[in-house]
Amino acid sequence: QSVLTQPPSVSGAPGQRVTISCTGSRSNIGAGYDVNWYQQIPGKGPKVLIYASSNRPSGVPDRFSGSKSGTSASLAITGLQAEDEAHYYCQSFDTRVSESEVFGGGTRLTVL
Amino acid sequence: QLQLQQSGPGLVKPSETLSLTCSVSGDSMISDVYWWGWIRQPPGKGLEWIGSFSSSGITYHNPSLKSRLAVSADTSENQFSLKVNSVTAADTAVYYCARHVYFPGYFDYWGQGALVTVSS
C-alpha cells in the first residue's frame, strides 16, 4: 500500500477536464512537503509534469496544472488530448517511518 | 543536455547481488543543488524510490531496502552505482537512475531504465 493514495483510474473525452487526486497525511503532504507529478507513457520512463506542487518545467503545456491543500494534492488536465493517455504518479516526502521520498500508486488516464 | 545512461546485467540469480551503473553526461555530478537517485518499478506496478545521495556524501535510503543497499559514486568518472544484495524475485523490476533536484525534491532527468530479472 502506498503512503500516497491515488485513484487507480480516471477517464475523460477529448477536450474535457480531468483531475487526479493524491491523498496523503500529516507526515507528508500535510506537513508542508511539496508534491511532484510525473507522466509515464506505456513503455517509457517517467517525465516530470509538475514540481513543487504547482510549477511546470519548461516544455510542459499549460493544460497541466497542480495544486495542494491540507493533506491532499491534485493534478488537473484541461483540453484532454489522446496523447495524454498515460499513467500519472504523485510524489512527496514522508517522515513517519524514515525520511523517504514516496510515490503514489499511480493513476491510469484513459482518453475515451 | 543532461543524459543518464544505465548499464548492468539484466539477469541476476536469487541470493546474489544486483549491480547497476549510471553514467552522467552533459554536466558534472558535483553540485550543491543536485542529488542523484535510484527508483524502481516492478512489472505492471508503480514507482518505488530506492535511495538518493549528494555529491558531498549524504545518503538517504528507502527503509525497506536499506539493509541490502549500497550506493556509491565516482565523481571523477561522473557515474554512480547501485548494489542490492541477497536479491529475490521481488526485486525484479525496471530500475531507473535519475537526477534529484534538492532533497527532498523531484526527479528531473531519468535514465532509460533497465529491466533486471531475478531468476535462476
pLDDT digits (tens, 9 = 90+) for A32-84: 999 999 999 998 999 999 999 999 999 999 999 999 999 999 999 999 999 99
Spell out the SS3 assignment of A32-95. Answer: CCCCEEEEECCCCCCEEEEECCCECCCCCCCCEEEEEECCEEEEEECCCCHHHCEEEEEEEEEC
Distance from CA of A53 to the nearest CA of B (A): 10
Using CA atoms, how far apart are residues A22 and B69, in angstroms rounded to an integer?
Answer: 29
Distance from CA of B75 to the nearest CA of A (A): 24
Give me B99's grid cell.
537526477
Beta-bridged to residue A20, according to DSSP, are A75
Omega of the bond leading into B104 within 30 degrees of 0 (cis): yes
Contact state of B49 with A52 under an 8 Å Cβ cutoff: no
**Tell me: the pLDDT tens digits for B28-86?**
999 989 999 999 999 999 999 999 999 888 999 999 998 899 999 998 999 999 999 99
Give me B46's grid cell.
508503480
- Give which of A74, A21, A64 is closest to A39, Cα–Cα: A64
- Tell me whether B42 touches chain A (CB under 8 Å): no
